Chains A and B, each alone.
Chain A
Amino acid sequence: MNESILNSVLLLVSLGAVTALVLFVVSKKFYVYEDPLIAEVEDILPGANCAGCGSPGCKSFAEKLVATEDISDLFCPVGGNEVMKLVAETLGKEVAEKDPTVAVVRCQGSCDVRPKTTEYQGPKSCAISAMIYSGETDCQYGCLGDGDCVTACKFDAMYMDETTGLPIVITDKCTSCGMCVEACPRDIIEMRPKNKRDLKVYVGCLNEEKGGIAKKACSVACIGCSKCVDACPKEAITMVNNLAYIDPEYCTLCRKCVPVCPTHSIIETNFPPPKVKKVVEKKVEADSSGEVKSVNLVKDA
């Protein structure tokens, strides 16, 4: 009895020793030198493997950063300037600072403003339905609503709004990796600068049709009237193919274009509510629930 225990212990110990020896020899003989910097840089990177930088994953991006002399063109959109600064310090190279960006959805064609004219029963995928036809509505530029962008987002920063049928970007979670931009077959999603308070002014439409046709398909479509172009003091708005585009590089967020748009297709986000010159406040008597409602009668001067 004792002998069999002893035998098996000896056998296993000797097996372990031999294997350890083989592993030791092999690891010495076939040792591949890897720049320790790569591991160091990889540790700094966010490790999301989102491919937003253009490399397939963080490790290969780290290799690229170490191997390339001039890394001013390379940028990790998820980590942003902080991470890139750390990387630059580690590598002793220079990086260019980039303004942080965030994804915006340039379509406001919800179910109530953009009536459905056909019904699609195929697979729920924007890429497939875009290949087959122009979508359930009469707008062949707008959101198809099958959520390819939401599927592509690896940071849970997008979801489909069930009432409007449009995707919504949670700006706090958006890392601007650009996967949604790539996934959208209609190029609806754009990366726009995210300033400190995340203020944005952009045209929420991509319809290149002439005014009448665009308006018929969707009541909040850009009709190419050029009123915003005239209103802009900085010449930041261009009108190409009946469609206005606000160039974020020149836009000073003055918002003069927003009220002049007859179809309300220019979107402003995160601005404080507009100051109104005359506000007449009057108290209404308590209603049945006992709650006092205050009604603001707004008159624009």
Chain B
Amino acid sequence: MLKTFSKGGIHPPENKLTSTKTIKRLAPPKVVYVPIAQHIGIPAEIIVDRKDKVEIGQVIAKSGGFVSSNIHSPVAGTVTKLDMVIDSSGYKKQCIVIRTDVKNETNFQETEYPLKKEIDLEPAEIVKRISDLGIVGLGGATFPSHVKLNIKEDKKMDCLIINGVECEPYLTADHRLMLEKGEEIIVGIKILMKALHVHKAVIGIEDNKHDAVELFKRLTADEKEIQVAALQVKYPQGGEKQLISAILDREVPKNGLPMDVGVVVNNVGTIFAIYQAIQHNKPLIERVVTVTGKKLENPSNFWVKIGTPIKDLIEEVGGMPEGTRKIINGGPMMGKAIKNTDVPVTKGTSGILIVDDGEACRGEVKNCIRCGECVNVCPMGLEPHLLMNLTEKGLYEKAAQEDIMTCIECGSCSYVCPSNRPLLDYIRFGKNITKNLASSKN
């Protein structure tokens, strides 16, 4: 029996259409729109102005605080404006608009870096470089990586977990990256182990990615400190707390961090970005994006420059299919529907999913029949139906007592509800209000 997390979970249809498609490099777009808030925390501060010429990889917005991140120019070109552009939140956000210089060759060079195994930097230097080169968690939450590596002195770390689970249906970005950049990822893991002073690392991969499990077992055959854990296929195993529960059988305390149980979790995409940053001094200016959907002509995985408008990606896979109802930034479970296709790819965009009528529309909302399915599947052990009711009635303090803030917004409850109740919509709203209430009290 394969390992998995203890509470709840669901198994939606996997639909991994692109798992055999090699990652292609997308030509740089004519214009990139780089938002200054691509990470959780304080938005970066713009340090360029209109008509400035920028080089590829140059810092264009500086980290605005500790929980923040630098932003680098993904292309060489000219800053045309500092504009407000709709991002995946549906609201207009500050963006730096850069026109790509078509004559500049650096934009089109495909540098394939040779594998470099020796780690020259000291732990403190590693953390500093990760911070300088704007590395954030690429699993979706975009938490600045250097913050995770700044361990408080009273905490003792003993294990690094690498998240190669990719439990979201449809997405294959991490899967392909693992297959194509396996050796680099192993070096990346060693870099992080050095930075964290830990001697144990476990790579968690769901069992539907057999080839990746086999590959990493082969690559780590001689590595005593790195293990590979094949996990049962279950959503949301990619959640930090679920993954720790699945691999180490440790429970992260309520409102706590993985740090509290001596663990740091990082996504394979982040590990690869860290490898490139440390060994080749490359800032985070591109990422792997899966563009997928059942009606698409040619769904694929791409290396995409940050700031590329999503419409360029859709064109690349054969254009928007007829009958498209919804375009989702991310996977079908946790992704956000976007408002138009001008929305740029950010550091957190792991996939673009295009769905038609059948999958896009919600069913008619009916009354709760008290079946308790939502309670069964909640991976955090909450009672979603109760939290929804409390939020609907405006009883936010009561909802806070019922641990509304521990919800990880995985959407399993809304997925299984036979009455199509908008459980997560209300819980998310309740969380927002509770957060605001708490911050106004302080």
Residues of A near any B CB (own CB < 8 A)? 117-118, 121-123, 125, 127-128, 131-134, 140
Contact = CB atoms under 8 A, between A and B. Distances in A.
A127 B436 CA distance: 14
B217 interface: no
B91 A133 contact: yes
Contacts of B91: 133-134, 140
B362 A133 contact: no
A125 B393 CA distance: 13
B425 A133 contact: no
A122 B422 CA distance: 7
Contacts of A118: 339
Contacts of A133: 89-91, 337, 339
Interface residues of B, number: 18
A122 B426 CA distance: 10
A132 B90 contact: yes
B339 A117 contact: yes
B325 to A, nearest CB: 8
A115 B53 CA distance: 39
B361 interface: yes
B20 interface: no
B65 to A, nearest CB: 24
Contacts of A121: 361-362
A134 B86 CA distance: 9
Contacts of B336: 132
Nearest to B391: A128
Instruction: Across the A-B interface, give the 10 residue pairs with the lowest CB-CB distance, nearest first.
Output: A133-B90, A134-B90, A121-B362, A123-B422, A128-B429, A122-B425, A134-B91, A123-B425, A128-B425, A118-B339
A121 B362 CA distance: 7
A205 to B, nearest CB: 17
A84 B181 CA distance: 76
B340 interface: yes
B432 interface: yes
A127 B394 CA distance: 12
Given A133-B339, A134-B339, A123 B90 contact: no
A131 B428 contact: yes
Contacts of A123: 365, 422, 425-426
A131 B90 CA distance: 10
B199 interface: no
B350 to A, nearest CB: 20
B280 interface: no
Interface in B316-339: 336-337, 339
A132 B429 CA distance: 9
B92 interface: yes
20 contacts: A117-B339, A117-B340, A118-B339, A121-B362, A122-B362, A122-B422, A123-B422, A127-B429, A128-B429, A131-B428, A131-B429, A132-B90, A132-B336, A132-B428, A133-B89, A133-B339, A134-B86, A134-B90, A134-B339, A140-B92
Given A123-B425, A132-B425, A140-B91, 6 more contacts: A121-B362, A123-B422, A123-B426, A131-B429, A133-B90, A134-B91
Contacts of B365: 123
A117 B337 CA distance: 13
A128 B365 CA distance: 16
A220 B373 CA distance: 48
A128 B432 CA distance: 10
B151 to A, nearest CB: 34
A140 B87 CA distance: 13
Nearest to A127: B429
Interface string B69-90: 0000000000000000010011
Nearest to B89: A133
Interface in B321-376: 336-337, 339-340, 361-362, 365
